[in-house]
Structure 1
Amino acid sequence: MTGYSIPKDPKSGCNQFTDTFTTCSLGLEPDFLYPLENVTIAQGRDATFTCVVNNLGGYRVAWIKADTKAILAIHEHVITNNARLSVTHNDYNTWTLNIRGVKREDRGQYMCQVNTDPMKMQTAFLEVVIPPDIIYEETSGDMMVPEGGGAKLVCKARGFPPPKIVWRREDGGDIISRGGPQGKTKVTSLEGEIVNLTKVTRSEMGAYLCIAANGVPPSVSKRIMLHVHFHPLVQVPNQLVGAPTGTDVTLQCHVEASPKAINYWTRENGEMIISNDKYEMSEINSSAYSVQMRLVIRNIQRNDLGGYKCISKNSIGDAEGNIRLYEMELPYRKTRPDDERDSELEETNDVRSSLQGSLREGGHREDVSFLGESGPSKASSSKATSYVMFLVSVYLIC
């Protein structure tokens, strides 16, 4: 490449500004002490090129934009109209080209040239890198699709080097791809500007993050919310609920719906239930599209028994669940007077003693039966006889 040459004195071979005693007059040639180094800088930062020349003498150093052949500076004088450029000299052998607030158009080849014959020069490249930036006008916004439909998510970004786009679910869930050569696949991240979702299900609803990065900080991202719409679905864990009168009971329904549904309770005859001292209604969100409906009925009376409905409605449809409340009796434990229990216990002990004595004397089952029949009363005798027969059987087995 042909550089810019500063005019020389044809008699001395030096330029017209040469001093009376210089390295030029002594025949010493200028020499570059270090190579000019390439510079990579982020847009907006300051860049410098340093050129170290020994034995410069009366020669001059010039800075040139090699790819455009534009002369930037000669010696310490800036030629270009670019106010962001300046040249500094340390009064010895170091010349520095300063570029303040680097822009994308500053990228290119720069030359440090000495006007010898032949010309001496060094070149280096200025690489201007640009952090990624989302192109919002070309990137998808929040979208709504019916369940079973398809969604196309697009994310575009600019920067240099060109940014790489990676998709992730904000909740860490899987991105589901269908219809490819491998069928249905699940991945936690996906690379590329476009994500095609087919046969979308409610589990794919949520925020998707498009992340752009090119190695130049900072990375940037955009959050795209995917809403999947479907009619309500009501599930009843217990359709038959029993409780004793005078107690409290809780009825529950699990509802899934998108967009968000209006949920309420009614009696079997359609009478709407309103929260008051008798009824307490609440909802607990399980996810973006599911909710747990609860109805607490306090101090159940007979007129509270019967059918209840949990109803869910949204713009797409409605659904209901049915629960029947019935009375459940408390367990009944029959008690006997203490004197009757004590009398029976004494009678049993007497029979046991008689049995043991008879068996020691070699008595048979007939003897035992006779002993059992000699009780104080016929009813007690019958009970004692049964007990004696049981003990004899156990004794014979042992």
Structure 2
Amino acid sequence: MVRLSTARSRLLAEIVTALILFGTGSAQRVYTSQSNRVASYEPEFLEPLKNVTVTEGREATFTCVVDHLGGYRVAWIKADTKAILAIHNRVITHNNRMNVIHSDHKTWELKIKDVKRNDSGEYMCQINTDPMKMQVGYLNVVIPPDIEEKDTTGDVMVPEGSTVKLFCKAKGFPEPRIEWRRENGKAIVLRPPNQPKNEVVLWEGPELLMDKVARDDMGAYLCIASNDIPPAVSKRMVVQVHFHPLIRIRDQLVGAPVGTNVTLECEVEASPKSINYWSKMQNNTGPQIVNSRKYINEELIINEYTLNMKLTIKTLEPEDFTAYKCTAKNSLGEVQGTITLYEIQLLRPSTTAQDPIVDTIGEEIDHITDNNIDIPRSHDRHRGGDHAPRQGIQSVTVPTPPSRPRNTHQVPYSPSENALDPDGTTSVYPSTLLLFITAISALMAKLWTST
């Protein structure tokens, strides 16, 4: 007697059990023990079996709604393999992830826990009528994207002017799409041979090829994988472009007076990052400058490869006016820049010849007013031969002008715009002219009285 294998024995047992439970053809009608009568209606489906889409690892549920089932039975079958999964309330398959639930007299559910990709396919809800009635629903198991690290590029370091190739591979179902972006939002610069330069914000495909990379191409690039099944995933790749240091100086000559503060600046570009320092040049030698009360060193980072060196010198002294060097050094080389600091001479104030003139006029007015000289009206001269003022006519007395404040320090005289005539010649200040006219009027009145 030939011994059957375990798998074949199990399959045979499933078939025998299914035949016993499900029946065929003319043996479908079942009588109830209580009413002892035959069901009077054929079973029917009340709603279609819906397709189900679920992410791998979650639970999938098919719902089959049957009315007037009577003594007939409901079975669940995997259509592509013809495997009987369950009959009525009993699970036939040995897959412990599957379960059948009969929630009420009409609703039957097939639940599949922790679904796998190979669970995808058609599932049938079948009634053992003659002919058989059935519905088919499709299970679509989807897989979110996942980047395969072993087939994906990591960080890259290349010299300026070389070619960079970045690869990104992802798995999932449906097959993921691959997109490339720069982390800082700038455009990706493509320089294909014998073609014009092309700048794009988004590049699609598993490979990103960049020819003749420049320092502006340096930075982080993102490989983004998506297939409309959340979440999308990304990987960050840093491209380092190495080059010799470069120094830019905006002002090579800087002037400042003694006693003030001054700041010198150098802009440095370098990759890899450079060591930067300042030197004070004296007799063709220059010791390195360190932070102190006299000197302040600062570095302001602008981008991945650019920074601004600043040296602030406080309270300038004569010995500070010399040349200063900014130095940048990395593994590819060294570069220096020179800034010359010179002294600005401040102009010293000087006196002018205006003060003695004004003083003379002021003294003359003071002398006239101190003697209480009356200044007659201009029309008194024509009223009779009496040279003295007539009775009843009030004489005009020149008021004492306000004393002119003396300067506490000498200020150089420079005529203002108001002191120029339209033809460009210098005119007398109005206040000086008024004083001069007043003095002349007083002298004329004195002479008139004496005659």
Does the C-alpha gap of structure 1 residues 25 and 342 become closer, same or farther in structure 2, counting only changes over 3 Å? same
Matches within 5 A, 1:242-321: 242-268=255-281, 269-321=285-337
CA distance, structure 1, for counterparts of residue 23 and residue 98 of structure 2: 30
Cα deviation, residue 27, structure 1: 6.5
Q: Among residues 194, 210, 224, which one is paired with 1:211 in the alignment?
A: 224
1:221-262 CA-to-partner distances (Å, cap 9, x unmatched) read: 111111111111001111111112222211110001011100
Q: Give the corresponding residue for 1:330.
A: 346
| Structure 2, gaps ≥5 residues long | 1-14, 363-420, 426-451
Distance 2:423 2:54 in 1: 106
User: How high is the sequence identity, in percent, across the aligned residues?
Assistant: 51
Q: Give the C-alpha shift of residue 343 in structure 1.
A: 5.3
Counterpart of 2:394 in structure 1 is none
**Contact 1:23/1:57 (8 A) holds in 2:** no
The answer on whether the counterparts of 1:18 and 1:59 sit within 8 Å (CA) in structure 2 is no
Instruction: Kindly provide the amino acid, as one letter, of the partner of residue 274 in structure 1.
Output: V
> Matched residues in 1 for 2:288 and 2:218: separation?
32
Q: Aligned pair in 2 of structure 1 residues 55, 319: CA closer, same or farther (>3 Å)? A: same
- Structure with max Cα Rg: 2
Amino acid at match of 1:150: T
Alpha carbons 1:6, 1:115 under 8 Å: kept: no
Q: CA deviation at 1:147?
A: 1.1
1:81 aligned to which of 94, 97, 106: 94
Q: Which amino acid aligns with 1:329?
A: Q
> What SS is found at the alignment partner of 2:42?
coil
Distance 1:214 1:338, change over 3 A: same
- Provide the C-alpha distance between the structure 2 equivalents of 1:9 and 1:134, rounded to a whole number of angstroms: 51
Residue in 2 aligned with 1:44? 57
> For residues 298 and 83 of structure 1, do their structure 2 counterparts lie closer, same or farther at Cα, with a shift above 3 Å needed?
same
Q: Hey, what does 2:71 align to over in structure 1?
A: 58
AA aligned opposite 1:239: Q
Task: Pick closer, same or farther for the CA change 1:22–1:205 going to 2, 3 Å.
Answer: farther
User: Is structure 2 residue 117 aligned with structure 1 residue 101?
Assistant: no
Shift of 1:58: 2.4
Q: Over residues 100-158 of structure 1, what are the superposed CA-to-partner deviations in whole Å (9 max), with x where a residue is unaligned?
A: 22221211111111222332221110001111111111111111111111111111111
Distance across 1 between alignment mates of 2:145 and 2:211:
29
For residue 183 of structure 1, give the secondary structure of its aligned residue in structure 2: coil
RMSD: 2.9
Q: Kindly tell me: are residues 137 and 23 of structure 1, through their superposed partners in 2, closer, same or farther at Cα, counting changes over 3 Å?
A: farther
State the Cα distance separating 1:68 from its structure 2 match.
Answer: 1.6
Change (3 A) 1:114 1:23: farther
The residue type equivalent to 1:195 in the other structure is L
Deviations 1:75-102 (A, max 9, x none): 1100112222111113412211111222
Which stretch has the larger CA shift, 330-339 or 296-305?
330-339
Any conservation in 1 of the 2:29–2:72 contact (CA below 8 Å)? no
Q: Deviations over 1:267-310 (max 9, x none)?
A: 23232222222221111111111111111112222222221110
- The alpha-carbon distance between structure 1 residues 391 and 342, as it changes in their structure 2 partners (threshold 3 A), is farther
Query: Given the alignment of the two structures, is residue 231 of structure 1 paired with residue 244 of structure 2, yes or no?
Result: yes
Check conservation: 1:88, 1:96, Cα contact below 8 A.
yes
1:1-398 equivalences under 5 Å are 6=19, 13-15=26-28, 19=32, 25=38, 28-179=41-192, 183-268=196-281, 269-336=285-352, 339-342=355-358
Q: Structure 1: any 5+ residue segments left out of the alignment?
A: 347-389
Q: 1:237 to 1:9 in 2, by over 3 A?
A: closer
Task: Output the amino acid matched with 1:187.
Answer: V
Q: Cα offset for 1:342?
A: 1.4
Question: 1:150/1:22 Cα in 2 relative to 1: closer, same or farther (>3 Å)?
Answer: farther
**Between structures 1 and 2, the one with greater strand share:** 1
Seen in structure 2, the aligned counterparts of structure 1 residues 140 and 391 have a Cα distance that, compared at 3 Å, is closer
What is the aligned partner in structure 2 of residue 374 from structure 1?
none
- State the alpha-carbon separation in 1 of the partners of residues 270 and 423 from structure 2: 71
TM-score (norm 2): 0.71
TM-score, normalised relative to structure 1: 0.80
Cα distance in 2 for residues equivalent to 1:129 and 1:223: 25
